[in-house]
Chain A
Amino acid sequence: EVVLTQSPGTLSLSPGESATLSCRASQSVSGTYLAWYQQKPGQAPRLLIYAASSRAAGIPDRFSGSGSGTDFTLTIIRVEPEDFAVYYCQHYDSSLFTFGPGTTVDIK
Chain B
Amino acid sequence: QLNESGPGLVKPSETLSLTCSVAGGSIGAYNYYWGWIRQSPGKGLEWVASISYSGSTSYNPSLASRVTMSRDTSKNQFSLRLSSVTAADTAVYFCSGDEYSASWYAYWGRGALVTVSS
Interface residues of A (CB under 8 A from B): 1, 32-33, 35, 37, 39, 43-47, 50-51, 56-57, 88, 90, 92, 95-102
**Total number of residue pairs linking A and B with CB closer than 8 Å:** 58
**A44 and B50 contact, Cβ closer than 8 Å, known pairs A92-B102, A101-B44:** no
Size class of B's contact patch? 20 to 34
**A44 and B111 contact, Cβ closer than 8 Å, known pairs A97-B50, A99-B45:** yes
Query: Contact at B44–A102, with CB atoms within 8 Å?
Result: yes
Query: Contact at B45–A50, with CB atoms within 8 Å?
Result: no
For B111, give the chain A residue with the smallest CB separation.
A44
The contact of B103 among A43, A44, A56, A92, by CB within 8 Å, is A92
Any A CB within 8 A of the CB of B109: yes
29 contacts between A and B (CB under 8 A): A1-B61, A35-B103, A37-B45, A39-B45, A44-B108, A44-B109, A44-B111, A45-B37, A47-B106, A50-B101, A50-B104, A50-B106, A57-B106, A88-B45, A90-B45, A90-B104, A92-B104, A95-B50, A96-B47, A96-B58, A96-B60, A96-B61, A97-B37, A97-B47, A98-B47, A99-B37, A99-B46, A100-B44, A102-B45
Query: Contact at A44–B94, with CB atoms within 8 Å?
Result: yes
Residues of A within 8 A of B60 (CB): 96-97
Interface residues of B (CB under 8 A from A): 35, 37, 44-47, 50, 58, 60-61, 94, 96, 101-106, 108-111
Query: Contact at A99–B104, with CB atoms within 8 Å?
Result: no
The minimal Cβ–Cβ distance linking A101 to chain B, given in whole angstroms, is 5
Query: Contact at B103–A32, with CB atoms within 8 Å?
Result: yes
The minimal Cβ–Cβ distance linking A53 to chain B, given in whole angstroms, is 13
For B98, give the chain A residue with the smallest CB separation.
A47
The minimal Cβ–Cβ distance linking A52 to chain B, given in whole angstroms, is 11
Query: Contact at B94–A45, with CB atoms within 8 Å?
Result: yes
The contact of A46 among B37, B61, B108, by CB within 8 Å, is B108
For B107, give the chain A residue with the smallest CB separation.
A47
